Amino acid sequence: MFDIERWQEIFDTISKNKLRTFLTGLSVASGIFILVILLGFGQGMQNGIAQEFEGDAATSIWVWTQTTQKEYKGLNPGRQIQFRNEDYTTIVDKMDLNIDGKSKFYRPRGITATYGNDVLFYQVLGTTPEVQFIENEYIVSGRFLNNADEEQVRKVAIISAKIKREAFKNVENPVGEIIRISNIPFTIVGIYKERGNDQEEDRIFIPIKTAQMVFNGADKLDNLSFTLPAAENFDAAVAESVAFKSEVETFLKQKHSIAPDDQGGVGIYSPMEEAKRYYSLITNIKLFFWFVGVCTIIAGVVGVSNIMLIVVKERTKEIGIRKALGAKPWSIIGMILHESIFVTAISGFTGLILSMGLLEIIGPNIEVDYIVNPSVNFNIALATVFLLVIAGAIAGFFPAWRAATIHTIDALRDD
Amino acid sequence: MIEIKNLHKSYKMGSNSLHVLKGINFSVEEGELVAIMGSSGSGKSTLLNILGMLDELDEGSYTLDGVPIKNLNETKAAQYRNKFLGFIFQSFNLINYKNAMENVALPLYYQKVGRKERQEKALRYLEQVGLKEWATHLPSELSGGQKQRVAIARAMAAEPKVLLADEPTGALDSKTSYEVMDLIQKINDAGNTILVVTHEPDIADMCKRIVHLKDGVIVEDKKVEQVRASQYV
């Protein structure tokens, strides 16, 4: 390996057989290049999916009301279900559930919000202060709803940064401004922003007690949401979400006389489960990318083997001459393998560096949904290069061995 | 230098066996210049291949410089070839991507001679065959006679005990043939043992001894008055 004479002999051979060397190198480099790019995009898709689900607290559960679809206990299908405060307190206080964050919503019907002469086409939603943690919201100005608002039934409202942008163009700071909801004045006390995307920034929040009292809501609720304590790992989190979901669903269906197998009545959603579905899709896509990548590598190995076969065939006479001049069989095999390992290693690393460089440069600039920062595990990429080099060496060994052990006289006769 | 006793060699051709050498007894002293003659199929090339350890004998014994040559594996044979023998082929057998000097230096590489020394020695031998100015030329840029002289320089470079030449002039015209023979004679004059396989009588006459092979046996073995090739050059 460190025989300087051998290295010189190999450099001589390589520099005088440029096309052959180039072709071998190209097939290796392109194999590695394609594999790394594929793996990079597999990882990029996984990153993208993970980011899409970052928005809402990952272990959250959403519950809402629907109309029933099945007849049950003498009740007709098509019945609109209405949650009550009692449902919420039962779930929170009476059921033995492990809840981290909780919130309830009441959406007043038949109301219009206005600011000056402008109608605000946004949803007005009564809720509790905890909603900001459940929906990953943060305050950019003023404050969020608090318990005092709730207790004193204050007429205050929170708007989003998007609403500020769209409806309060001419106001430097909308905090302190008055909006009217069905002609009842509410003071804006804060502006919130949502992590992830602004698709959910279409809502004006008011304290739930205010909403229920002022707009004839009595003790009606429309939505409930909960978050669960962080689980040890992804699978445990999914399992806990599923268990929680089924308990709450059973309770609510029983309470409101809904058939246990009714698809309607109670809507319940857990992003965690959705994420799991995406993650398994991603696993499949990554598997597919691996499959394509491995096929590419195999094609590369076959290519290298072919070239090695031709190289050895082409050099049979030269091998004969070298043997007549006193080359031992092992020095012939060593020379051929040394050359092939050197060429495949250099071109493998070239492909690796080029592809990783490309990912490094274009990766952070990719702005496509579901693909974020494609990158590749360097060790895996390195391992594939070594695999290819070893495969090339094995592929080269057998023809080299044959050529080195046939009779010198036969090798010399080869034309 | 070379001692051969009762040498037999046959080749298997399918189910038939072709008996090529049928009991050769033959010896060569140091400093001899021997021509091995015979028509094609007489076994002269087979004999040379056995002498060159490129082929194995079936029966009999072969001693080279006091060393018995038998049951050699490829590694051992390669060592012996490198140490004892220099080859000159009809088709020159130069490596086409190496220039003249590198071709001459190649046997020295297998003797583990350092690169610098190798090149110096190679240039010295190229100078001996009159091709020093052609050192950096590839074989494809040389004429047939020049190629054979490079091949002779290469055979000499390893400083072998015996030079084996298989039809060294077979691919050359008569003028170039005489030039090559002149070179071979000069090398022989310097004390080297040389065996030349040929079927051309005029080439054989330029040696000091002619061994005539026919159908696998020596029919004639005589010392001759050497014709100097220089008079034709």
Q: Is residue B70 part of a domain?
A: yes
Q: State the residue for tokens 């190999």.
A: A10
Predicted complex ipTM exceeds 0.85: yes
Residue B42 CA to residue B53 CA, distance in Å, equals: 19
∠ CA A277-A91-A126, nearest 5°, is 85
CATH of residue B192: 3.40.50.300
Q: Examine the domain organization and report whether A264 and A293 are in the same domain.
A: no
Split at pLDDT 50, 70, 90, the class of B103 is very high
CB of B171 within 8 Å of a chain A CB? The answer is no
Strand duo A156-160 + A178-181: pairing: unpaired
pLDDT at A405: 82
Min Cα–Cα distance to chain A from B225, Å: 32
Structurally, how many domains does chain B consist of? 1
Cα–Cα nearest to B195, from B40, B4, B61, B58: B4
Answer with the one of A269, A298, A328 that is the final residue of a domain.
A269
Domain that holds residue A254: 60-269
Residue A334: what pLDDT? 87
DSSP 8-state assignment for residue B207: S
A192 and A126 belong to one structural domain: yes
Look up residue A190 and give its two tokens: 């804060």
**What residues of B are in contact with residue A8 (Cβ under 8 Å)?**
115
Q: Identify whether B115 is part of a domain.
A: no
pLDDT computed for residue A363 by the predictor: 75
pLDDT of B150 above 90: yes
Nearest CB to B79 within list A12, A326, A409: A326
Q: How far is B86 from chain A (nearest CA, A)?
A: 7
User: Is A265 in the same domain as A282?
Assistant: no
For residue B156, give the nearest of B105, B226, B97, B100 by alpha carbon: B105
Q: Which has the higher per-residue pLDDT, A93 or B196?
A: B196
Q: Is A374 helix (H, G, I), strand (E, B) or coil?
A: coil
Shared domain check, A308 and A353: yes
Contact of A375 with A40, CB cutoff 8 Å? yes
CA distances from A36 to A365, A378, A385 (A): 18, 9, 10
Per-residue pLDDT, B55: 84
Instruction: Name the stretches of chain A with pLDDT < 50.
Output: 1
Q: Tell me how close the Cα of B133 comes to any Cα of chain A, in angstroms.
A: 21
CA nearest neighbour of A298 among A395, A400, A402? A395
DSSP string, B160-185: -SEEEEESTTTTS-HHHHHHHHHHHH
b/e per residue, B113-126, with b = 16+ CB within 10 A?
A: beeeebbebbbebb
Measure CB to CB from residue B54 to each of A318, A329, A408 and give the nearest one: A408
**Confidence category of residue B147, pLDDT binned at 50, 70, 90:** very high
Res. B183: pLDDT tops 60 = yes
Instruction: State the nearest Cα–Cα gap between A384 and chain B, in angstroms.
Output: 34
Does B45 fall in a domain? yes
Distance CA B197, CA B204 (A): 8
**What ranges in A53-135 are assigned the alpha helix state H?**
85-89, 131-134
| Element of type H or E holding A45 | helix A18-52
Residue of chain B whose alpha carbon sits nearest to that of A319: B95
| Distance to chain B for A396, nearest Cα, Å | 20
Q: SS3 sequence, B28-79? A: ECCCCEEEEECCCCCCHHHHHHHHCCCCCCCEEEEEECCEECCCCCHHHHHH
Q: Has residue B158 been placed in a domain?
A: yes
**Phi-psi label, residue A245: left if phi above 0, alpha if psi -120 to 50, beta otherwise:** alpha
pLDDT value at residue A196: 63
Which domain, by its residues, includes B76? Answer: 2-97+143-204+217-232
At residue A40, φ and ψ (nearest 5 deg) are -60, -45
Query: Hey, how many other C-beta atoms are within 10 angstroms of the C-beta on A54?
Result: 13
Q: Are A243 and A105 in a shared domain?
A: yes
CB B170 within 8 A of CB B164: no
The pLDDT, as a whole number, for residue A48 is: 77
State both tokens at A339: 């050359």
- By C-alpha distance, the chain B residue nearest A407 is B54
- Nearest one of A270, A152, A266, A135 to A205, comparing CA atoms: A135
Region of poorest pLDDT, from A11-20, B126-135, B178-187: A11-20
Are the beta carbons of A322 and B106 separated by less than 8 Å? yes
Instruction: Based on the fold, state whether residues A290 and A258 are members of the same structural domain.
Output: no
From A238, A269, A300, give the residue that closes a domain. Answer: A269
pLDDT given for residue A127 in this prediction: 92
Return the exposure string of A154-170: e unless at least 16 CB atoms fall within 10 Å of the residue's CB, then b: bbbbbbbbbbbeebbee
Give the whole-angstrom CA distance, residue A299 versus residue A315.
24
Most B-contacting residue of A4, A325, A330 (CB-CB within 10 A), to test interface: A325
User: Are both A24 and A66 inside the same structural domain?
Assistant: no
Angle in degrees, CA A242, A245, A249, rounded to 5: 140
Same domain flag for A75 and A45 = no
Which residues in chain A are closer than 8 Å to B106, comparing Cβ atoms?
A: 322, 325
Residues A386 and A330 in one domain: yes
Are residues A119 and A217 part of one domain?
Answer: yes
How many structural domains does chain A have? Answer: 2
Q: Is the residue at B29 inside a domain?
A: yes
Separation CA A290–CA A302 (nearest Å) = 18
Nearest to A327 among B52, B78, B87 (CB): B78
Q: What is the mean pLDDT of chain B?
A: 90
Selecting from B97, B107, B115 the residue whose C-beta is nearest the C-beta of A5 gives: B115
Instruction: Name beta bridge partners: A269.
Output: A62
User: A107 with A246, same domain?
Assistant: yes
| Residue B132 domain-assigned (yes or no) | no
Is the Cα torsion angle B81, B87, B89, B95 positive or negative in sign? positive
- Are B81 and A326 inside 8 Å of each other by CB? yes
**Please, which residues have CB within 8 angstroms of residue A257's CB and are 6 or more apart in sequence?**
A72, A73, A75
Domain boundary among the residues A240, A269, A298 is at A269
Question: For B195, how many CA atoms within 13 A lie in the half-sphere containing its CB?
Answer: 28
Give the per-residue pLDDT at A2: 58
A6 at B interface, C-beta within 8 A: no
- Same domain for A66 and A171, yes or no, is yes
Only one residue has tokens 């074989």, namely: B139
The one-letter amino acid code at B94 reads L
* Greater model confidence, B80 or A201: B80
pLDDT at position B138? 92
CA distance readout (Å), B149 to A82, A293, B146: 108, 54, 5
Report yes or no on B54 lying in a domain. yes
Structure tokens at B100: 């003249």
| Strand ranges inside A59-121, DSSP E | 60-65, 83-84, 101-105, 113-115, 118-120
B54 vs A8, A324, A331: nearest CB: A324
> Residue A335 and residue A246: Cα distance in Å, rounded?
69
